[in-house]
Amino acid sequence: MGWWGKKDRGGGTLVVKMENPNFSMVELEAFSDDDENENFLITNDNNNKRRNKNAKQLTWVLLLKAHRAAGCLASLPLSFFSLASSIKRRVVSGKTDTNTNNNNNNNSIKTRFYSCIKFFLFLSLLLLCFEVAAYYNFKGWHFTAPNSKGVFDWVYSMWVFVRVEYLAPVLHFLANVCIVMFTVQSLDRLVLCLGCFWIKYKKIKPVANVSDADLESGDKGFFPMVLVQIPMCNEREVYQQSIAAVCNLDWPKSKLLIQVLDDSDDITTQSLINEEVEKWQQEGANILYRHRVIREGYKAGNLKSAMNCSYVKDYEFVAIFDADFQPTPDFLKRTVPHFKDNDELGLVQARWSFVNKDENLLTRLQNINLAFHFEVEQQVNGIFINFFGFNGTAGVWRIKTLEDAGGWLERTTVEDMDIAVRAHLHGWKFIYLNDVECQCELPESYEAYRKQQHRWHSGPMQLFRLCLPDIISAKISIWKKFNMIFLFFLLRKLILPFYSFTLFCIILPMTMFVPEAELPIWVVCYIPATMSFLNILPAPKSFPFIVPYLLFENTMSVTKFNAMISGLFQLGSAYEWVVTKKSGRSSEGDLVSLINEKSPKHHRGVSAPDLEEMKEEIQRQEEKASKKKKHNRIYMKELALAFLLLTASARSLLSAQGIHFYYLLFQGISFLLVGLDLIGEQVE
């Protein structure tokens, strides 16, 4: 035991093995407990020998680290070769993002957006060639019209005149508008972070009016009637783990009813889900299977249909879980008690946690975004203003609140945000519980994530158009109206994707060819880096990914901007509702643990009955999936922007524009990787 109060590491043998045949295996003896006890009796000579031995150990460890570093450097050429091979396969396959579009109107909209980006690309290439020719003609860079009188000199003089008189003022105006938006949005992020810091410092958290003794007193305690709904559509990969998790909720069975709301159009999936429900019914769970004959309105229509059942009037609260969510058994005991003696409370929202956040680079970057959303945005809004956007799942509603707000509506693709806004306008309050987590999955492929983000950013703009008159005429305070219109909708849903795409993907590269409208360094570098640092604070383990996160967020601004425009102006893709693809990875881990158990019992990931039948079904699904080959896509808009940014970086390098070159280069590379679908799940 050392003076610092910690035990020294015990004895043993440290084996250092070099893969290089020129090195041999060497055994290094570490300190043992006996050596420590005899430490007071050894002589100075022994001390010197031990110091020599420690020096030898340090030398071998340093040699080992140097060997590993050399191995990493040697693997770089192989990594680049593998990357080049992947790019070649993408290009040869010829699968573009336009192959999946069946709607002609949607295709025409995407084509116009793509044509706009191509115009800027061709213009930048033309200007780059023109600037290079001018460089060699005038033997240097000139930002004013030359005095010579040749034809090329006249053309260049006219270009400088047009650039100074017409292009630069327009770019400068747009840049200033975007900079103002950028600054306001950055201040909003800073205020949110300060609010989160204050919550942590003061240890502020919602407290229920029900003691633990009341919850442990059985049916005599606070156990109101709770309805649990699991809406799903073709969720073959995850339906078992979700149903099993909900059936294991610790709540009196007489006070709990589970509805499995299946909207699947695949007959096999319907039968599998129905069989799973019947298994849990035989085990004593109070669970029902519902399938709609007329499948309209997507998830909102599914929930609305379920709420119209006659027996719903007997229940006071409804908990909603999407098909990939796995609540812990004590979920209801940690959420429902907050409603007691709080008649103004309409919603209790729990935090999401992710079973596959370390699966690949894409899931790591998503985890950064969502960690900030839940840790900072939702928590601060819940504590200080009792309002936030319902996340669509892992929440408990007071049924009276849903009825008072008008019920579920199918008018947008964000039915969860819609019902939250209408409930807030009717005076209901919300509570967010940051310490109550519910596990779910993140999209592992860029295609699935792209579709999810399109729906998440087009829906709020549809909702803003529809709700603006109601917000203005609502009988709520001016501050709440300002918060909902400016902060909730405009600043965080519209301004963010607009300035991110316009400023960093269009204006910045164009200023390389119009140097009179140069952007300041603090806009390009300092503030984005600071905001990325603040965003990553709720997920400190993701700090090594801060640079990829900053670049990827700007890359995703293309999809978000396109979705925002589609939702705001009701274009073709605004009402596209695609179920996010699930992998069911969490169920695989639970299946392995279930097989390894000696005695059969219920597990959260799967149901216990008929395990062999379930294993055979999984094998059949895997064989069927292996026969149907999937391909990574090539995303044309991202590729066009990649070449635009790389062209601008070349122009920046030629004219020594400093930090702009590095940003444009790395941002162009990130667009290239995303355009070739080299991020996320890789398929053949």
Contact 306, 269 (CB under 8 A): no
| Residues whose CB falls within 8 Å of the CB of residue 458, separated by 6 or more in sequence, listed in order | 413, 563, 564, 566, 567, 573, 574, 576
Best CA proximity match to 674, nearest among 41, 63, 97, 65: 97
Best CA proximity match to 606, nearest among 594, 621, 620, 624: 594
Cα distance between residue 406 and residue 518, in whole Å: 51
Is 416 noted as a catalytic residue in this protein?
Answer: yes
Residue 269 token pair: 């999936």
The overall longest dimension of the chain from CA atoms, in Å, is 98
Residue 77 token pair: 């050429």
DSSP string, 304-343: HHHHTSGGGGG-SEEEE--TT-B--TTHHHHHGGGGTT-T
Residue 659 token pair: 């930090």
DSSP at 517:
G
Contact 324, 238 (CB under 8 A): yes
| Residues whose CB falls within 8 Å of the CB of residue 175, separated by 6 or more in sequence, listed in order | 503, 507, 511, 517, 519
C-alpha torsion sign, points 39, 42, 44, 48: negative
Strands (E), 40-97: none
Q: Which residue do the tokens 């280069």 mark?
A: 665
Best CA proximity match to 254, nearest among 210, 284, 217: 284
Contact 605, 587 (CB under 8 A): yes
For residue 445, the cross-strand partners are: 680
Best CA proximity match to 511, nearest among 174, 132, 186, 155: 174
Best CA proximity match to 226, nearest among 248, 262, 244, 252: 252
Write down the number of H helices and E strands in the chain: 25, 9
Is 97 noted as a catalytic residue in this protein?
Answer: no
Q: Which residue do the tokens 């044509």 mark?
A: 115
Contact 542, 442 (CB under 8 A): no
Best CA proximity match to 430, nearest among 299, 342, 318, 328: 342
Of 416, 418, 590, 677, the active-site residue reads 416
Cα distance between residue 559 and residue 574, in whole Å: 12
- Three-state SS at 454: helix
Cα distance between residue 361 and residue 475, in whole Å: 46
Of 97, 262, 263, 322, the active-site residue reads 263
| 85 CB-contact burial (10 Å; exposed 0-12 / middle 13-18 / buried 19+) | exposed
What positions carry a catalytic annotation?
263, 416
